[in-house]
Structure 1
Amino acid sequence: MTVTAAATQSTTTRSAEKTGARTAEAAEAITGARERIDALDDRIIGLVQERMAVSAVVQKERIASGGRRVNLSREMEILARYRDALGKPGTPLAMTLLELCRGKI
């Protein structure tokens, strides 16, 4: 085996171990898809942080006007929206999002 072939095989083996793929082509496709997932996750995290900030404004204004920090009927609308869009797993996702956005006001 040549040095180049050995290096390629070593790289393929490392990629396969990292991705679980059995071929170099599959490892490459998985690596590219994972990079895209990481970029999407970064955007999702940024959007959640933005949602938290906007929610804090809503809560602050509601409390300042004499209302409660949490509006349960609005939360039910949000739960239904996520469930309708994402199916049953959308409900716990929405619950987690609501929990993050309730803040410490």
Structure 2
Amino acid sequence: MDEKQEAALQRAYHWRLKERLYDWLQVYATEPLQHRRSLDCGAWLDDRLQSAEQAGLISERSIAIWAMLSLEQGDDFASNPDSPYSQWKIQEPQTLGLPAEVTLQTFFNEHA
């Protein structure tokens, strides 16, 4: 497979992931998503995918949680010291040094 084919496959995967993520958010985060719909939801989803990747998230479940928490707590929930997620991390010292996937999913499982 050459670079062009690989890039095309990556774009197709990205597009399908955005569709699945949007569909999932419509079911599990209906109200916050309705507010986001008035803005450019496609660009917001692209931004959330990019920020999730920068945070070290690779599983689709973690990416979906990242998007949901962004809707509920703000796009800066992971860096905002006042967000419920950041406050939880401070109160749970055992999360220090854990992979981002584990920390995020643990928080979600405890607070969903």
TM-score by length of 2: 0.29
Q: Which has the larger radius of gyration?
A: 1
TM-score by length of 1: 0.31
More helix by share: 1
